[in-house]
Amino acid sequence: MTRLPALAALAMGTAALTTAALLTGGTAEAASPPFTASVFRATHNSYSGSVDGAKNSIAYQLDHGVRFIEYDIHDNGYATNHDYGVGHDSPGNAVDHSGGNPASNNLRDWLSVVNTWSAAHPSAAPIVVMLDLKDNLTDNANFAAGNLTAVNQELESVFGSRLLRAQDYPAGSPTVDALRGRVLPLLSGDGGSRSEYKRDVGYHPAVALNGRGQIVEVHDSGGGALWYWTGTYGADGRVTWLRHGKYDSGQTPAVALNDNGDLVEVHQSQTATTLWYHAGKLGSDGEITWQDSHQYDNGVQPTIAFTDATHVREIHQSQSSSQNWTWNGALAGTTVTWTGNAKTSDARYAKDTATNGTRRVKVWTGADGPTPSNTLRVDTASVTGDRIRYRQVAFDEFQKGDSAELQQGALFYGAPATESAFITSARQSGKLVRGWDFDSASDATTPLANYPATNHPYDAWYQTVVAGAVE
C-alpha cells in the first residue's frame, strides 16, 4: 500500500498540469481531467450526519465539496408511504434530521435536498447519489408495491433534466467539465435486486404487439408465478420496457392485445391441466389493470390471438393427446364469453412472436455473456438479443465478491477502504471506485479511490489525502 507522500505528489501534479494549461491559454475543456481519472470528496452513510461520524447536513456536505452522497433505503412501509425509507438498519435508524436535513425519512425528501443544491450550483462537479438497497426489492410485486420501476420513476421525477441516466452516459472518456451540473444515480446493496435491474429471468415467454406499438410480454418463473412486462416499440426499432409485475400463479402463458389496450391472457395451472384466462387493460403509463382469473377448459399449451377488436380465438392442446382444440371468445368489458369449442387441425399460435405492419417482436431466453441461460431476451426488426429489463436509469455498482454478471459492463466499483488491491486494480482499469469507511490516512492507495467515502470529511488528514479533489 502506497502512503500519503506519493498521493500528495500526484494531487499536486494534477493541479500543476491544470494551472499550466490555463496559463498557456488552454481551454477549460482541455484542462478538465477525465471523469474516471478524478478524485472527489465522498461521505459514507451521508444521511447520518453527525449522529455517526462528523458529517453535518447534506447541504453542508455539498457546500464543502462532497460530491458523493449515500442513502441507505428500505422498502418497509412503501405501500403506506408510497416511498422508500432512509435509514441504516431500518427507516429512521441513525438518521440526522438536524441542520436543515429533512424532518421525514422519505427518500424523495432527501433526494430533493440534493436536487435543490444542484440546481443552485450548475457548475459543480457531477454528484453521485448512491442508493444502498438494504432490502430485497425483487419480491415487490409491481410498481405500486415499490419495485425497481418505482426507483427509476422517483429518480427521474426528482432530478429531471439534471439526471444523467446510465443508458445515456457518454461514450469514450468524458471529462469532468462535460458532466458538471449533472446527477448520476447509483444502485448498491442487495445483490439480487442489482442483478434483476440488469436482466430478468423466466420461462416460456410470450408476447403481443398492437398497432400503436404497445407491447405486453408474459412468462412464468418456473416455480409457479406469472409475471408481465409492458413496453413500447420505438422508431429506432428498440423496445423500451415500462412496467413489470406479478399477476397470478401458473405456467405457459400467452397473451393477445388489441389497439384499444384491451388484453386477454391465457395460461395453464401450475399443478393441474386446467386452463384459465384473465382480461385486462393496458394504461398509457404501461401499467395493466388485471381482472380476476376464470377457468374456461382443461388442456395444455394455450395460445390466443385477437381476430377483430372484440373477438379472440384460443387454440390449445389436449391434456391427453396431441389433438388441438379451439375456442372463440367475445370480450365484453371485463369478461370473455366462450363459444364454439371444437377439435381443430390448425396449429397453435406462435406465442413467442408478434407482428404488426413492419414491426416485429420475438421473445426468447438465452444467456447474454455471464447471465443465466433463462435470461429474457427480445428481437425486433432492427435489433437482436436485447435484454428484457428495467430502463437503465441508474448505474449498477460491482462490489468485490459479486458475480460476473454484475461485473459485466460496470463503470462503478466498490469495496471497503481496506481492500487496497481491489481498489488499485479497478482504478488502473479505468473504473470509478468507491472505498467506504475510509477513516484513516493509511487507507490511501495509489491511485486513490475516486470516492474515498469517509465519516470524517473535515478532519485535517482527510483534507490532505484529497488535496486536489475536484469540486
pLDDT (tens digit per residue) in 92-103: 999 999 999 999
CATH of domain 35-195+392-466: 3.20.20.190
Cell (9 digits) for 344:
381443430
Tens of pLDDT, residue by residue over 270-321, are 999 999 999 999 999 999 999 999 999 999 999 999 999 999 999 999 999 9
CB 119, CB 160: distance < 8 Å: no
Tens of pLDDT, residue by residue over 163-221, are 999 999 999 999 999 999 999 999 999 999 999 999 999 999 999 999 999 999 999 99
229: pLDDT strictly greater than 70: yes
Sort strands 353-356 and 395-396 into parallel, antiparallel or unpaired: unpaired
23: pLDDT strictly greater than 60: no
Residue 64 neighbours by CB distance under 10 Å: 14
pLDDT tier for residue 440 given thresholds of 50, 70 and 90: very high
Alpha-carbon gap, residue 42 to 433, rounded angstroms: 11
Question: Which residues make Cβ contacts (< 8 Å) with residue 261, sequence separation at least 6?
Answer: 210, 214, 281, 282, 283
**Pick from 129, 28, 22: nearest CA to 72:** 129
Mean pLDDT over 38-62 rounds to 97
For residue 10, what pLDDT is reported?
35
pLDDT tier for residue 222 given thresholds of 50, 70 and 90: very high
**Pick from 66, 70, 79: nearest CA to 121:** 66
For residue 12, what pLDDT is reported?
34
Mean pLDDT over 127-143 rounds to 97
Q: Which run of H or E residues covers position 110?
A: helix 107-120
For residue 31, what pLDDT is reported?
76
**Pick from 250, 191, 197, 255: nearest CA to 226:** 250
30: pLDDT strictly greater than 60: no
124: pLDDT strictly greater than 60: yes
The full set of domain ranges for the chain reads 35-195+392-466, 202-387
Determine what percent of the chain is predicted with pLDDT higher than 90.
93
391: pLDDT strictly greater than 90: yes
For residue 7, what pLDDT is reported?
37
- Higher pLDDT residue, 290 or 16? 290
Q: What is the mean pLDDT of the chain?
A: 93
For residue 3, what pLDDT is reported?
36
CB 450, CB 34: distance < 8 Å: no
CA distances to 61, 184, 301 from 361, rounded to whole Å, are 48, 32, 20
For residue 5, what pLDDT is reported?
35
